Chain A
Amino acid sequence: MSALAHYLEDEGVPTVAISLIRLHTAKIGSPRALWVPFELGRPLGAPRDETFQTRVITAALRLLEAAPGPVVLEDFPDDDPTAIDLPGWQPPFDLMAGALETGNRATLEHALGQEVLAIAPFYERFVAANRRTTIGLSGLAVDECVGFLAAFLAGSPPASPDPAVSPVQALRWAVDDVKAYYLEAMSADGAIPSSRQMQSWFWDRTLAARAIIALRRQLLASDDKRSQAIGRMTLVPGAQVLRLGLQ
């Protein structure tokens, strides 16, 4: 981000960067930056909080006119008010996945499909209220995504839906879409728990998460370096690898 700022500024375009990792911004020397003490992934802080977001943007943009150069790094004083756990939060449905049986593709696909079906009304409620979904990277419907996962887990990787990308790359995007489906369904009632609460619930209680963890294990055992990299880096968040004690 700071390097992009340097290149733009060098071409004569004034910039101000929001910084989530102060250390990197300070190292590179972004022309103007506002460091914010928020989680990675939320440079404006609180979702659905117009007042808070506007405060952050205003603090950043004011650096365009107020601060002397050539390197300005200021700190935003307040934390994201939605970063704390919501006491007693539960999603608007309950799940407690049993053991994952990966040997038979049809059985596995059916089990995953049943879980997807069970939370469909909540996903649809979220989309209706939010007027958007972030599912769409794979180009597959969510039931097709879990079918794709099941085929991989059963040892018969399917053809990629996009011939220009490898099946394992397509798998990563299908996993992204499955995770988005669950997390959006979990948000159907409008409550805003911490991301930590939502992630813990997803990774502890859903069959989909068990399938993704099993896929990670499978890809890590592969002889193919690209599959190993996708398994290691892009299926399970590092914080969950740590929390769940995954190898």
Chain B
Amino acid sequence: MVRMTDLPQATQTGMANLECPRFETTPFVSGPPLAKRRVAVVTSAGLVRRGERPFRSGNVDYRVLPADTPADQILISHVSVNFDRTAFQRDINVVFPLERLRAMEEAGTIGSVAATHYSFMGATDPRGMEANARAVAGRLKSDRVDGVLLTPV
């Protein structure tokens, strides 16, 4: 596994031809220097807290990941099996890098780490996620977040 070129040709072709949403606008929001930003992670890795029901195919909802959730309470439930999980098994930071962000906060590279982070399941038509994505934006603004790091798998 698992670069695109390792996948069956049909899968590669499907990914290459995947219909992607086209937007008529190109929103682009500026902000303060990085050292003053409050940073959150929003991931499409299908992360859930242990005990929550895993994501299933077609799910467009999101899960809340408080920053103080212990790493051993976070599982990966993305529906695709066509990506590497061994790195995540060894080190959660490969997908959900809160320890790295905390170190960057201590070093003064970023201002602070958000109190809450969010997870979607990426193998879904993103247009179905719009309402939930906008709801997450509202929650991020309530937490004064002005920098989001988006991580896929």
Interface size on B, residues (CB 8 A): 88
Q: Does A155 contact B (CB under 8 A)?
A: no
Q: Say whether, besides A27-B20, A137-B75, A238-B11, A13 and B137 are in contact (CB < 8 Å).
A: yes
B2 near A54 (CB under 8 angstroms)? Answer: no
Residues of chain B within 8 A (CB-CB) of A69 are 26, 28, 30
- CA–CA, A175 to B84, complex, Å? 15
Give the number of chain A interface residues (Cβ < 8 Å): 86
Interface residues of A in 1-48 (CB under 8 A from B): 1-21, 23-24, 27-29, 31-32, 39-48
Residues in B neighbouring A17, C-beta threshold 8 A = 150, 152
- Most B CB contacts (10 A, CB to CB) among A32, A71, A199 go to A199
Judged by a CB distance under 8 angstroms, whether A86 is at the interface is no
CB atoms of B82 and A24 under 8 A apart: no
Chain A hits for B150, CB < 8 A: 1, 4-5, 15-18
Contacts of B15 in A (CB 8 A): 21, 23-24
Chain B residues in 8 Å Cβ range of A237: 1-2, 81-82
Answer yes or no: A221 CB below 8 A from chain B CBs: no
Q: Which of A3, A11, A19, A46 contacts B141 (CB 8 A)?
A: A11
Residues in B with CB closer than 8 Å to A173 are: 54, 77
Task: Tell whether, in the assembled complex, residue A132 and residue B71 are in contact, meaning their CB atoms are under 8 Å apart.
Answer: yes
For A141, what are the chain B residues with a Cβ–Cβ distance below 8 Å? none
Most chain A beta-carbon contacts within 10 A, residue among B8, B23, B87, B141: B87
Residue from B29, B39, B127, B130 whose CB has the most chain A CB atoms within 10 Å: B29
B148 pairs with A11, CB closer than 8 A: no
Please, what's the 1-or-0 string for B103-121, where 1 marks a CB less than 8 Å from any CB in chain A? 1100001100000000010
Which residues of chain B have C-beta atoms less than 8 A from A99's C-beta?
none
Contact A41 B90 (CB under 8 A): no
B50–A136 CB distance below 8 A: yes
Tell me whether B87 and A42 are in contact (CB under 8 A). yes
Query: Known interface pairs A132-B72, A136-B50. Does A3 touch B1 (Cβ–Cβ under 8 Å)?
Result: no
Q: Determine if A156 is an interface residue (Cβ-Cβ < 8 Å).
A: no
Cβ B28 vs Cβ A13 within 8 A: no
Which residues of chain A come closer than 8 Å to B134, judged between CB atoms? 7, 10-11
Q: Which residues of B87-106 have CB atoms within 8 Å of chain A's CB atoms?
A: 87-95, 97, 99-101, 103-104
Q: In whole angstroms, how far apart are the Cα atoms of A192 and B134 in the complex?
A: 39
Determine the distance from Cα of A180 to Cα of B27 in the docked complex, in whole angstroms: 40
Residue of A nearest to B131 (CB): A7
Q: Beyond A42-B84, A195-B86, A235-B81, is A8–B129 a contact (Cβ under 8 Å)?
A: no
A interface, CB within 8 angstroms of B = 1-21, 23-24, 27-29, 31-32, 39-48, 50, 53-54, 57-58, 60-62, 64-65, 69-71, 82, 130-134, 136-137, 162, 164-165, 169, 173, 176, 179-180, 183-184, 187, 192, 195-196, 198-199, 229, 233-242
A-B contacts, 26 of them at CB < 8 A, read A3-B21, A5-B148, A6-B21, A7-B133, A8-B133, A12-B29, A13-B148, A15-B42, A21-B15, A21-B152, A24-B15, A29-B26, A40-B84, A42-B87, A48-B91, A54-B104, A60-B149, A70-B27, A132-B72, A137-B77, A173-B54, A173-B77, A195-B2, A235-B81, A238-B7, A238-B82
User: Which B residues are closer than 8 A to A by beta carbons?
Assistant: 1-4, 6-8, 11, 15-16, 18, 20-23, 25-34, 37, 39, 42, 44, 50-51, 53-54, 56-57, 70-72, 75-77, 79-95, 97, 99-101, 103-104, 109-110, 120, 122, 126-127, 129-130, 133-134, 136-138, 140-141, 145-153
